A and B are shown apart, each in its own frame.
Chain A
Amino acid sequence: MIACKHENNVPYSTPTSVDSDHLRTWIRLVGVKASPGRASTPLPLGCQHCEGAPCTNACPTSATYQTPEGIVAQIYPRCIGCRYCMNACPYGVRVFNWTRPEWPESMLPMANPHVSKRPKGVVEKCTFCHHRLIQANERARAEGRKLMPGDYVPACVQTCPSGAMAFGDLSDPRSDIAALAASPRAFRLKEELGTRPKVIYLRQRE
């Protein structure tokens, strides 16, 4: 979560922003119970990058759209701040900039120059660090090769100390991520809605 904030210039939350439900975070931990009797397990919850994303249909100005790679991305200068995508998202992972984002003076030099700072009045969300994909593509092109596994991972996956998160190309059936997705332990959140999320969780081993 901290890596995400640093990587994507997401302002830090204050007690006031938590109390007023104006929390700015692209990824959060939620407790999910596997069955009624069991203790809840914390799951990281960010944009699920659904294949059938309800938010992309809802957006009147195509500010949220799906990239050819399947990432649900956001073009902030197009966003009108109607918040329809927030109501359409079944996972409640989109956040609105209710106030003008501010950083302490000392933190400004640490801002990521590859990611825009968003103004008040637009909706934000996880983009799977889309700017890293663009950079990785440019590097691969400069080196005259195709994008290889591991060339591009989002900041949360890169920094997770226990390797609890994995990232890869789901459309490649030989990839490690495709094997994990095919595991009998794999499940998606709110599968019954038919949104076909591309974020897949694994149940604990029995």
Chain B
Amino acid sequence: MSNGYGHYENTSISGRAGFWVWIGLLSLPVLWAVYWGALSLFSADDFSALGNRTPWGLYISGYAFLVVSCSIGACLIGSLGSVFQIERFVILEKRAVFLAVTSLITGMSLMLVELGQPINMIRGYIDTPNPASPIFGMGVIYTMDLALITAEFILLMTNNLLIARRIGILALFTAISAGSTVGSVFGLPATKPYWNGPYLPIDFILCAWITGFAMMLIVAYTSAQRDTVHREQLLGLVDSMGKWLAIFLAVDVFFVLWTISTGLYGGGGGGDKYLATMALVTGPLKFTFWGGEVIVGLFLPLALLLLPGWKKAGTPCVAAIMVVIGMLANKVNMLLAPQTIPVPLFGREAYRLVVPSMVEMSIVGGAIAFVVLAYSLVDRFELLTHEA
């Protein structure tokens, strides 16, 4: 079956040219992001729109999106094949674990730009650790997660499947702990009532499942377009993952509904949680909340996945792309909502929305483009193709 490009067809001159144009288009934002990232790290100036009253912004949203939604999500879906041995998911395991590793490393690189003194972290984590800090726990668990999923990936690529499965079990539980610990970074301090509580650590796990299914659905669909050998199997997976995605989105509707309802119920005494919720509902974040998170991220994909009249071959893939966009919007909204509200000690003036700077958008956009670029390259050269 091999034609020099293995299982893949469409290797004509135009197909190859189109691929390299695609790689070129992805490389531009990546290089742009590397340039601005290096400048942010080494320059005496600051290029973000952040300030003392909004200390966290798009870098943290991008980090949470990449290391929780994408990396943990891909790890969860990969585990369906490698750990739970669900036969039809085995075809995706290498691709899933590769995406988990790439997203995690990219997310961690974003952290380099976010941290003011990243070098101090190495010494601080060893010499003067504070185990009571959720950020310390997050750093430790994610380091373990990176080591485990990298080992799992290497073992899968070298066909050591039995050891890969054992490492995969450890990686699965470490990944869930890691994602949940990122939620605890927001959930533990009592200062921001909108974040405080057990909800976010749990919600982050649900977000990972949703993004994982959406990402791997896109991967399965795009692979099916060119993999002549496994086309039927991959399209079957698209259908199956589309159904799972719809179920998880339906659950997420209630997560969003009750987050908003508990924030608004009875006016909340006009407290911080109420104000943060109002920032989403009618305040400065209403477009990214209603437009990005609710309509594009939830209801349109649900309609595309569930309404029989709309069902066409590429429909689940379009829905999945919308879900991924919605999940990014979810992280932006979650992060900014409590930071936009006026601080009582400063006189409760109007909402204060910090629109991310062009540099922040370029760096986060470039980071996401890098994950797509890396996957496109390894996929093109069939490094992750499943061998039965």
Q: Shortest CB–CB separation between residue A196 and chain B, in angstroms? A: 13
Q: Shortest CB–CB separation between residue B139 and chain A, in angstroms? A: 7
Complex-state Cα separation, A90 to B139, whole angstroms: 24
List the B side residues contacting A189 at CB < 8 Å: 345
Among B44, B136, B189, point to the contact of A100 (Cβ < 8 A): B44
Majority secondary structure of chain B interface residues (helix, strand, loop or mixed): loop
Contact: A90 with B116, CB < 8 Å?
no
Among the stretches B46-54, B159-167, B277-285, the one at the interface with A is B46-54
| Contact A80-B56, Cβ < 8 Å, known A92-B345, A100-B44 | no
CB-nearest residue of chain B relative to A121? B116
Contact: B128 with A99, CB < 8 Å?
no
Binary per-residue interface labels of chain B (129-160) against chain A in the complex, 1 for a CB within 8 Å, 0 otherwise: 11011111001000000000000000000000
| Contact A87-B56, Cβ < 8 Å, known A60-B135, A60-B136 | yes
Contact: B117 with A119, CB < 8 Å?
yes
Kindly identify, within residues 74 to 109 of chain A, every residue whose CB is under 8 Å from any CB belonging to chain B.
77-84, 86-92, 94-100
CB-nearest residue of chain B relative to A83? B55
Q: How large is the interface on B (under 10, 10 to 19, 20 to 34, 35 or more residues)?
A: 35 or more
List the B side residues contacting A45 at CB < 8 Å: 345
Instruction: Determine whether B243 belongs to the interface, using a CB cutoff of 8 Å to chain A.
Output: no
Contact: A122 with B117, CB < 8 Å?
yes
Contact: A22 with B347, CB < 8 Å?
no
Q: Shortest CB–CB separation between residue B117 and chain A, in angstroms? A: 5
Contact: A60 with B133, CB < 8 Å?
yes
Complex-state Cα separation, A193 to B125, whole angstroms: 29
CB-nearest residue of chain B relative to A91? B345
CB-nearest residue of chain A relative to B186? A87
Instruction: Determine whether A61 belongs to the interface, using a CB cutoff of 8 Å to chain B.
Output: yes
Q: Which of A23, A45, A82, A193 has the most CB of B within 10 A?
A: A82
Contact: B44 with A99, CB < 8 Å?
yes
| Contact A80-B116, Cβ < 8 Å, known A54-B189, A88-B191, A90-B191 | yes
Contact: B46 with A98, CB < 8 Å?
yes
Majority secondary structure of chain A interface residues (helix, strand, loop or mixed): loop
Contact: A21 with B116, CB < 8 Å?
no
Among B44, B51, B129, point to the contact of A61 (Cβ < 8 A): B129
Contact: A97 with B56, CB < 8 Å?
no
CB-nearest residue of chain A relative to B119? A80
List the A side residues contacting B192 at CB < 8 Å: 87
Complex-state Cα separation, A59 to B190, whole angstroms: 15
Complex-state Cα separation, A59 to B117, whole angstroms: 14
CB-nearest residue of chain A relative to B54? A21
Contact: A97 with B116, CB < 8 Å?
yes
Contact: A87 with B55, CB < 8 Å?
yes
Instruction: Determine whether B121 belongs to the interface, using a CB cutoff of 8 Å to chain A.
Output: yes
Among B114, B121, B136, B191, point to the contact of A54 (Cβ < 8 A): B191
List the A side residues contacting B347 at CB < 8 Å: 30-31, 40
Q: Shortest CB–CB separation between residue B375 and chain A, in angstroms? A: 29
Cβ contacts A to B, 14 pairs, < 8 Å:
A21-B54, A31-B347, A32-B345, A54-B189, A59-B130, A61-B128, A61-B130, A63-B120, A80-B124, A87-B56, A95-B52, A98-B46, A119-B117, A121-B116
5 more contacts with CB within 8 A, not counting A20-B51, A80-B118, A122-B116, are A22-B52, A81-B118, A83-B56, A86-B55, A98-B51
* 10 nearest A-B pairs in the assembled complex, by CB-CB distance: A81-B116, A21-B51, A121-B116, A61-B124, A100-B44, A60-B136, A83-B55, A98-B46, A60-B135, A60-B133
